[in-house]
Amino acid sequence: MTLPQTSTFMIPKSIQTDGLKVVSRLAIAAGLLLLAGLTLFRLPLTEVTLAVLHRDGSSHGLFVPFISAFYIWDKREELMRIPFRFDYFGLPLLGAGVMPYFLKTGIFHVEFLGFIAFLAGAVILISGRSFFKAVYFPIIFLTAMSPIPPDIYNYLANSIRHLSFAGSRLMISLLGISFYHEGWKIQLHNADMLVALSCSGIRYLLSFMVFGTAYAFLFKTTFRSRLGTILMTVPISIAASIFRLTAIFVLTYLFGPKMAEPQPHILISWAVFLSMAFTIVWIDQRFCKRIGKKTANSQ
């Protein structure tokens, strides 16, 4: 009695070779980045990570690497078709990336930008410019993790505070709520409140711009539509800031000072942000579908 012979599956040598090339180049890139992260860019990476975890001007930063990873995963089939090749055009970017470290700038914002340049240079060097063109957005998008320098942050926050506070006072006036205000203080019949710089709406502006940029590159295809989407996040964030302050003032007027305490304040802020974000996305998707139907019917 003879046993049937079992067939073996042989992987073609070309596939084996290409696979080894991809794995080896990815290993080289990972090794470069790990070495750079542990030596040249240890300080800026630590500072940015702490800023993200402590929500110090970068409350949205925790989502940024996950958005970048999702963007790459979404394009995985396209990326697999791009041939890997060494490209020495990445060397100037590698050099530019390490310059802040050797210049001893002491500004972690600048050094973090240097890390992004180093990352871009490593990708080009190991994978080629064609591959970089397909992944340039998620790489550059990582810069959104870094908080804005304090002077710029305070200037923007104070400017938005003027707009949001003035707008919310107009809103509660239209609702027939009487109040008295002096400077950044507002007095209702049952509570005295101060609109601090942290309540200006600057976090709304940064978050809407970051998520709006991600939405533009994920769902828009032309430069004009992407630019328009990103620019629209500015008035949207200001409107959301006005609605948030208005909601706090109205709820405090109706239910007492407890509505202005930290926990209700945070809940109101998240409710306004999420409702505004989902509403804008829903309107945009509906509008795009209508435009697409009209275009299809006209053809």
pLDDT tens digits, one per residue of 224-273:
999 999 999 999 999 999 999 999 999 999 998 888 888 888 899 999 99
pTM for the full predicted model: 0.81
Among the residue ranges 14-18, 36-40, 102-106, 253-257, the one predicted with the least confidence is: 14-18
Which residues lie below 8 Å from residue 96, measured CB to CB, with a gap of 6+?
A: 114, 117, 121
Residue 6, pLDDT above cutoff 60: no
Mapping DSSP to helix (H, G, I), strand (E, B) and coil, where does residue 43 land? helix
Pair 210, 236: CB distance under 8 Å: no
Percent of the chain at pLDDT above 70? 85
- Residue 3: what pLDDT? 43
Compute the distance between CA of residue 26 and CA of residue 131 in angstroms, rounded to an integer.
13
Whether pLDDT at 29 is above 70:
no
- Helices 150-174, 202-219: crossing angle, 10 deg rounding: 100
Query: Of 231, 161, 167, whose CA–CA distance to 196 is shortest?
Result: 161
Residue among 34, 27, 39, 140 nearest 84 (CA): 27
